[in-house]
Amino acid sequence: MSSSLALPPLTEDLKQVLIDADTISRRVTEIAGSINRKYKDEKEPLVLVGVLKGSFIFLSDLVRKLDIPHVVEFIAISSYGNNGSQQGEVRMIMDTRESLMGKRVLIVEDILDSGNTLSYLIELFKSRGVKSIETAVFLDKPERHKAHVDIQYMGFTIPDVWVVGYGLDYKEKYRTLPYIAEMYPVK
Ligand code: IMP
Ligand code: MG
């Protein structure tokens, strides 16, 4: 059965599938391969830090394709949006369990939008004395960047549209769709 037949029907909110599940799977395998090659000679485990909630599906697919020693940590971030305090402000609401000091860290994030979240996290982790830091990001919206962030592993570049699925949500909806879909602009 072709995977397009297995897709749940699009709802009235969803305009089109941008990236289907097979394409996602192939790309995640490639990214895992790059990470495996980069860290193959390291003895200490790589600490993958998933940024909740958006990264949880990408992270769980990615770690099951790693053949290097690794451990998983999570953090949760709240970014202030248009409604209220200053835009671009980022706040940590849940920190890692274990200290990252002296560790090789890979931040795993769903999407690079303004870049505020990742630039905040990279600076924070550097200030905590990590041994090295890299970032794996599933999606990139280059038109939206405000802060410059170095990304070592990138899934896909997309236009400036709101997308859902594969961990990404719209008001907590559509997060667990197995593909990336573009939403109609919100009225
Ligand atoms: P930043 O602007 O790069 O700091 O990204 C902030 C966060 O906004 C991301 O981590 C996502 O959780 C969320 N975000 C940005 N664009 C989208 C989107 O198209 N769909 C769902 N979430 C998004
Ligand atoms: Mg996020």
Of the candidates 113, 140, 150, 160, the residue annotated as catalytic is 113
Q: How confident is the model at residue 181 (pLDDT cuts 50, 70, 90)?
A: very high
Q: Do residues 14 and 180 make contact, with C-beta atoms less than 8 angstroms apart?
A: no
**143-169 CB burial, b ≥16 within 10 A, e <16:** eeeeeebebebebbebeeeebbbbbbb
24 CA from centroid of ligand 1 (Å): 18
Least confident stretch, 23-32, 75-84, 137-146, 169-178: 75-84
2 CA from centroid of ligand 2 (Å): 31
Q: How far apart are CA 163 and CA 169, in angstroms?
A: 8
Q: Which atom of ligand 1 is nearest to the CA of 147?
A: 3
Q: Which atom of ligand 1 is nearest to the CA of 168?
A: 21
Report which of residues 84 and 9 the model is more confident about.
9
Q: Whose CA is nearest to atom 2 of ligand 1?
A: 114
Are β-strands 46-52 and 104-112 bridged in parallel, bridged antiparallel, or unpaired? parallel
Average pLDDT for 97-110: 98
Report which of residues 44 and 4 the model is more confident about.
44
State residue 186's pLDDT score. 78
State residue 2's pLDDT score. 47
Tens of pLDDT along 48-88?
Answer: 999 999 999 999 999 999 999 999 999 999 876 544 445 67
Q: How confident is the model at residue 12 (pLDDT cuts 50, 70, 90)?
A: confident
Ligand 1 within 6 A of CB of 79: yes
- Average pLDDT over all residues of the chain: 92
Ligand 1 within 6 A of CB of 165: no
